[in-house]
Structure 1
Amino acid sequence: MLQGGLLTVTPLKIGACLKSTEIATHRDWLFDSARDIEIQDFMSHEALSTEFENRIAAAKAALDGHSGRIGIHGPFEGLDIDNKDAELRPLITARFLKALEAADRIGARQMVMHSPFTLWYQNNVFSMPGYAETKLARIHDILGPVVKSAENMGITLVIENIQDVRPETRRAMVDRFDSDAIALSIDTGHAQLARRMSGAPPVADFVRDAGNQLAHVHVQDVDGHADRHWAPGEGEIEWIAVFRALAECEAAPHVVLELRDKSHIPAGFAHLQGLGLVV
């Protein structure tokens, strides 16, 4: 165990984000220790329409024998959860409901979704009367049926920071649903980018703000300039501080490496393991 000031950091078990076809390469590491797996096969229109049944079958086959926790990354391209077009909002809701069906059928109990908050929002929220409430109303219009369906399925929607500057804004949005079926996700790389680009708090402070609402963490490193999805140790994130904050959280979030180059998963794991942060 790592001594972080007065706090002892107990190493966390860490898993990975993968497509079904990529699981076999890392099967022993994932399956032998029942690690968290996030399936990333259901993010496109094709995956949720013409390829749906084939992808369900592929995911089930790849996960056969796995006893750890499973999640999926939901769709996001063009699917803004506070879309201003009233005609498009039901289509977005339907796409998320289809992704929830995929999650349920492969045994996943989490679905990652993207936050709608940006620096532009934070800088303009007080400049237009009713801006925040109008935005939240659109979010509830789109996500209300999705949250209700997730409740019925026993699945948790986890809202990932993308361009978020103030973590408490996203947390307040989740609070407004007053449901155990929606919680918070933190992407470490996105938080670090927001820190460098927009003056956001450090990554560890995103974790502390989430507290026991934190249900999911994407672990990836960046250089502060772009969304690199590098292995931990290749960028500038202060990993000891991040895992010290995670140790303070009483929840048990899914913690998964989300790397662009999946062949770097062993190196990223080894770096964090060498720091005494993961097992």
Structure 2
Amino acid sequence: MPVLVPRGSLYSERASNEKIEVEARIETSSMLKVLSTHVFLRQRLHPGLLDLVTRAGAQGVELFAARQHFDYTNRQEIRDLAEWFRSNPLEPFSMHAPLYSDREMGRGGGPSVNLLHPEKSRRIDAMDEVKRALETAEQIPLRVMVVHLGDREDTWSPRALEYSLTALEHLRAFANPLGVKLAVENLQNEVTRPEHIREILHTGHFKDIGVCLDTGHAHLGDGVSETIAQLREFIRTAHLHDNHGNKDEHLWPGEGEIAWDETMQELKSAPQTPAGVLEIHYALEEPNEVIVEKAQRAFEKF
């Protein structure tokens, strides 16, 4: 006797076929392999380092906008890199917005680039600095700019929401004509908790602004799986790095405690499979050849 399947059951033939199709799509989908130049932050960015990124098996690169590393205000430096990109297959996929406007990452007392600072003049200065970095896209065809909303100690409030909406609206208006889309990164602050990022994007009707899912920050906060679950519809790119659950170490995947097989499957199940950006800490001070080898191994997880 045939088994009768209730109408609308998850075990119906149609639902079963759809499930198989989704699983197949997840299984075969792959991330764009991207390496952030954050790992080279103590070196001046030059074509030789971009050659190393290519040797590591990367398809794209994320330029880390720190003036001592990549001076986004130096037009000649930008032209030199643009010429290299025109002659090589490596894609200039994204840029990480500047965190400081000086050449010492704030160690000399320089203020951070904080789009949500209580003082209006500081907020304006921060937006101007991010815009200077965005101007790089006039010569280097970036796709994404990763932005921070606030510093680590910033808390959530109606004012934080207002400042976030203002900053993203202004930066979006500047970035879109350059062909660049914004991606908000989840940080170790209250403003960028998953539920608050959702509120910001929904309140501002920012349908063209996505999320940069940072695995290390998620692991130190609500957990990687929970963060992905809350933000999956917005995820466009992902900063991939590891830690041991007590500080933001930016280790290579597999050198900390994050469950990478599960994490990669969850990221690939997002509506838009994000680019996977290895964002490894420069303080590890590993030789370039070690960086190439470890990046190659990490990209195998993609």
Q: Percent identity?
A: 21
Residue by residue, what CA displacement relative to the aligned partner does 1:106-139 show, whole Å, maximum 9, x if unpaired?
1101111113376873xxx5xxxxxx32222222
2:227 is the alignment partner of 1:206: yes
1:109-258 superposed matches below 5 A: 109-116=143-150, 121=155, 132-164=157-189, 166-194=193-221, 200=222, 202-258=223-279
| Structure of higher CA gyration radius | 2
- 8 A contact 1:82–1:136 mirrored in 2: no
Residue by residue, what CA displacement relative to the aligned partner does 1:53-99 show, whole Å, maximum 9, x if unpaired?
13312322442322545111111231112111012222212111111
Within 2, Cα distance between the matches of 1:150 and 1:48? 15
The CA RMSD measured in Å over matched residues stands at 2.7
Within 2, Cα distance between the matches of 1:86 and 1:26? 39
Q: CA deviation at 1:162?
A: 1.7
Q: Secondary structure at the match of 1:88?
A: helix
Residue 136 of structure 2 aligns with which residue? 102
Q: Secondary structure at the match of 1:217?
A: strand
Within 2, Cα distance between the matches of 1:267 and 1:29? 8
Q: Which blocks of at least 5 consecutive residues in structure 1 are unaligned?
A: 1-5, 126-131, 195-199
Q: State how many pairs are aligned.
A: 249
Residue 6 of structure 2 aligns with which residue? none
Q: Which amino acid aligns with 1:71?
A: S
2:110 is the alignment partner of 1:80: no
Within 2, Cα distance between the matches of 1:240 and 1:227? 20
Q: CA deviation at 1:214?
A: 0.7
Residue by residue, what CA displacement relative to the aligned partner does 1:39-61 show, whole Å, maximum 9, x if unpaired?
12x23389244xx2133123224
Q: Which amino acid aligns with 2:187?
A: I
Within 2, Cα distance between the matches of 1:54 and 1:252? 35
Q: Which amino acid aligns with 1:65?
A: N
Q: Secondary structure at the match of 2:120?
A: coil
- 8 A contact 2:216–2:240 mirrored in 1: yes
Q: Which blocks of at least 5 consecutive residues in structure 2 are unaligned?
A: 1-21, 101-111
Q: Which amino acid aligns with 2:30?
A: L
> Given the two structures, how large is their TM-score scaled by the length of structure 1?
0.78
Stretch deviating more after TM superposition (66-75 or 105-114) = 66-75
- 8 A contact 1:118–1:164 mirrored in 2: yes
> Given the two structures, how large is their TM-score scaled by the length of structure 2?
0.73
Q: Which amino acid aligns with 1:44?
A: R
Residue by residue, what CA displacement relative to the aligned partner does 1:143-192 show, whole Å, maximum 9, x if unpaired?
32211112222211111112046312122212333234421001111111
Q: Secondary structure at the match of 2:250?
A: coil
Q: CA deviation at 1:221?
A: 1.1
* Off by >4 Å, runs of 4+ in structure 1: 117-120
Q: Which amino acid aligns with 1:213?
A: F
- 8 A contact 1:168–1:209 mirrored in 2: yes
- 8 A contact 1:15–1:36 mirrored in 2: yes
Q: Secondary structure at the match of 2:158?
A: helix
Q: CA deviation at 1:265?
A: 4.6
1:267-278 superposed matches below 5 A: 267-271=294-298, 273=300, 277-278=301-302
